[in-house]
Structure 1
Amino acid sequence: MKAEELCRILIVDDEQLIRKGIIHYIDWEQEGFIVAGEASNGQEALELIEIVHPQIIITDIVMPIMDGEELTRVVKERYPHIEIIILSSFSEYDYVRSSFQNGVVDYILKPKLDAENLLNGLKKAASRLPALKASNQNSDGHPPIEQIMNNLISGYEVTWNEHETTTIFPFQSFYLLGVSGKSETTDLQTIVKERIVEKLRENVKDGVYYSCSPNKNMSILLINIEKVNIENVIKAVTQFLVLEPNIRFSLTDEFSDFLQMGNVYKDKLSKLLNYQFFLSEMPLLMSGNLPEPPSLKEPFHLDLFTKEIKDKQFDSAFGYLKECSAQFSQCYTVDPFEYKAFYSKVIFNIIILLSNTEYDVRELDTAKYSYFKSIDEVATAQEAVAILDSFIEEVKKYLSPAPELQDHFNMKKLINFMMEHYAEPLTLTETAKHFHFNPSYLSNYFSTHMHEGFIEYLNKIRIEEASKLLIKDKIPISEISEMVGYSDHSYFCKVFKKVKGLSPSQFKRKNT
């Protein structure tokens, strides 16, 4: 196979050994691929794209300068025709998968990275490349209209002539109708191809309709009609909304050339579809019925929010967050990706801030990926707000100090625990775990009440017990050190001398 016929691959990973390993996994040319380039981070990859023109990118998620998540977002914005495969070391791979499900062909966990999994992912990606679908053609040698539509949306140039246009599309006006949302009865693609097209034909008998589906959550209907019939199209959509209130529509202005479809999708429809995320109360969006874009009164001040959380001004902090969230949700020109990222970042920061206090939020910390996944999958801004509100209500359940830190708790309980377990390999972390509070908080709490650190006090307990054994019994000093919790005899002697001013042997001679 000639090099120009091979599918071009760009490998992106900050570990050179991983990149070289991938290169040596398979016989690339025999399988129909060629490694066109390598990059160590997302920024390098973007620079190489213009040089090596890859059709598929294999990228790690965690990388310096620009990570795989940002690379995916930028590539899909600038080069929608490039397919992407994600490599991940994350154990939370369900979250990773859901985070990229609308832009990435597949993901492969690095521990399971082998020739078979890699080749399966590559073939899956290659099957979506229009340039490699030559076998999927009509009897006249041309690809199906639906495939040509996908090609135009993905940014590919297509071969087309005026005769084909007039034959297939006899009317002068074209429109794109974006369809999104969920139905309780059937999948979106079936709804578009059967029920929506049927409703359109009831209202506009002279019309041509073709659909394609860039992803499972959206379908695009190409409408070719006489311009005078556009009001009937709007009427048909309005009628359909009565039957399926959870479906949302975005209708572009008229365009006159089928080959303009790619630009109309990129410049017009994709924006309307993004607006639909925020304006879900408007089931049919058109450029002429958009509200005036609001602007944020002021950006969200994370430093202010953080200070109020640290100062335990929770009502004020959460009130401020909800107010900013309500304003943010009205700014429909914001990228939904950035909007979702804001909510995930806020939830992450709240959990981190509370983890560094006396509040036991380990269950919240465990559940954070579930919240991230839920936010990533929301179809509207209102759903994201509801998740944040639910999260805040859940947080409030954890804002009482751990039971052991109530007024009835006193240092005696903690000291008794240390006295009972001093002979064991006792640590601050294990003690904190026993009493269900944060180690750093326990350290501060102990120092405040005892005026010395946890380890210093534990050493005193151990040395006092060792002193009793040295005076009363004829046990070897090396055994005594183990009996009071020291596995290292020399360290025991060092601590003993620091506390008593004498070595264990000197202390024994002086007191017996």
Structure 2
Amino acid sequence: MIRVYVVDDEKLVRRGIIGLIDWERYGMEVVGDSGSGEEALRFLREKGADILFSDLEMPGLSGIPFLQEVRRSFPRLQMVVLTMHQEFELIQQALRIGILDYITKAQIEEENADAFMQGVRKRYLEVERHYQRRERKVEKESIYVWELPDFSQAQAVARELEAQGFVFELLNETSFLFPCTIRPGLLQSIAGRFDRERSTLLEIREVAGVPYERLENALQTTGKRRLFQDRRPGEYCYAYAFPELLQEQEGCTREAVLQLSLEMAFMVRDQDYEEGMARIRTAALSAEERIAVFYHFDLHWAEFSGKDISRYFEETGHFLWWYQWREWFDEVRGLVLHSIEGTDAELATMEELHRAMNYIREHMDRDITLEELLRLTGMSKSHFSRKFKNLTGKTFVTYLNDLRIEAAKKYLTETRQPIYWIAKQVGYADERYFRRIFRERMGDNPRQFRENHQK
């Protein structure tokens, strides 16, 4: 059990806090309480505790000086601050000292106290694991690590493993560590019953003597990136030597990915495409950054691919592994290639038109003239206008207005900004002209559209 000590100078408040929380539910027990900082320090020196719940304002030693003394005398003791109000400056000082969390006394009586206490327990266990792992090293030459996608599945797995008599320990709340003496076939059969697409069973060799903390850090950083690249459909078991997991692979930046994926050569030449895919595969991007960056790729090629970009997040939101992204890239590329089949001269024209469309999209918040686009592409007015309409089905002016109206629709439905502000953001200096163009295209004026569609 996690031992809790409560200190508050008001006895009734102290008794109320102790009585209102179902401590056993969170694996905790109250081992003592007092009304002063001095008394609390005496108890902690004599008997100790794991978590201190402390008021910030008490007679004698209290507040920040009390927390500082506790941290100095008992560096491993975790602290939770109780306060009457959310005093910003005091709370900030307490957080810098290293408290787990803080809560107002009024909140303890509310329903959200359960979520708070669950969070306190989780953070306490994380800190404890950190202390323990600083001193522990892996003893076996090889181990198994089973990574689950979420806490609820990890709980179900823990019950299954306990029922089967497996020897294991938690590496974190969603990862289990097993000695390599375990029968791999039996472990794999159990792992195969729990979300094979999102969970992973790893055999890690050459790991003896590695600190637990270093192992977990490697799995969460370079190991996670390695698995993202290596994962294959239907395969959830992978084996690595620990030194492999420490090797950083050189990958391009977010900006380089964007630049690369927008080049016509990348799309139309097989060698350029494969070389580009290899660089994108190892790009230093988080899952969230990947979704954001590749959205721009989808957006910039939409005129050629014909894909409905409004479905992008629905299509890609569940992607976890590189092979899923690779299949998606291949699909987009196939659609683009189908739409721009032709001679090298024709492909050169398509590249200039693509550059023009990207330029329009990036600068639609200001006046753009046809002359600008002619200078950008080096094409004559008649040639540009004919080819542009053949590709988009629209004149330059219609294409620009449609882009602006689509952007305005997003602002109207996703923000509360005033109409004049939105008009300016999408390139209309004259609000009345914007309202007229919007109504012509949408049937409603901007205010009516917002009322009918705002999320």
TM-score above 0.5: no
TM range (shorter): 0.3 to 0.5
Q: Give the TM-score, by structure 2 length.
A: 0.41
